[in-house]
Amino acid sequence: MIQEGIWTPRKTRDKDNAHTWRKRKECFGEMVQTDGSVGNWFEDRGPKAVMMAYIDDATGIPFARFYPSEDTRAAMDSFRKYTEKYGISQSLYFDRNSIYKTTRKANLDEELQGKSPQTQFKKVMDILNVKPIYAYSAEAKGRIERLFRTFKDRLIKEMRLENISNIDEANEFLKIYLPKYSEKFSVPPANSKNLHREVPTDMNLETSVLR
């Protein structure tokens, strides 16, 4: 059947359909992928929640926080906390969720100023001089998608053992869990230079990000 072309071995099919992995960025902070994942993170012990997660493309170092829902405030607050911990990344890679990219038409003020319509999150990125990169498929966000799959296996089990049942407890647990995860699974960057920028001393992230 193989010789006659009637049947193709699975290994050959998988090879033909394999996704070509994009090469990692070279420096820590050069590009950070982010996304939100809603689910039963606390199983039957508590309500559904959303994890807002970040993963550095060069190293695989993750950052995450839990929130009641995936909305603009959750995106902004998690981004602020990431920035407070690591600094301002050069670029942020996300999907085309309405939190990050608007589909509305420009209003009169924007037309008069020659500006394109922006989400509140995009305005914050402009203030911090962070380049937005929009993904067009789930495969393009492979690192963050794989991170969620891992967390929904490993992290849920760990929280079950600790009997964690709410967002506050989970966020405290992440402070312990994420460093251990990074130590085990992160990789050295190709270039040791850290491209995260320090937050300017005259900038208040609380007022700049949470509006």
**Quick check: 90 and 133 in contact, CB under 8 A?**
no
Phi/psi of residue 183, each to 5°? -60, -35
- The pLDDT tens digits along the chain (211 residues) read 677 666 666 665 555 555 556 788 999 999 999 999 999 999 999 999 999 999 999 999 999 999 999 898 999 999 999 999 999 999 999 876 667 666 556 555 655 555 666 778 888 888 899 998 887 655 657 789 999 999 999 999 999 999 999 999 999 999 999 999 999 999 999 999 999 999 887 777 666 555 4
Domain segments of the chain as ranges: 25-185
> Angle CA(137)–CA(194)–CA(26) in degrees, nearest 5?
45
pTM: 0.80
Burial of 171 (0-12, 13-18, 19+ CB in 10 A): middle
Class of domain 25-185: alpha beta
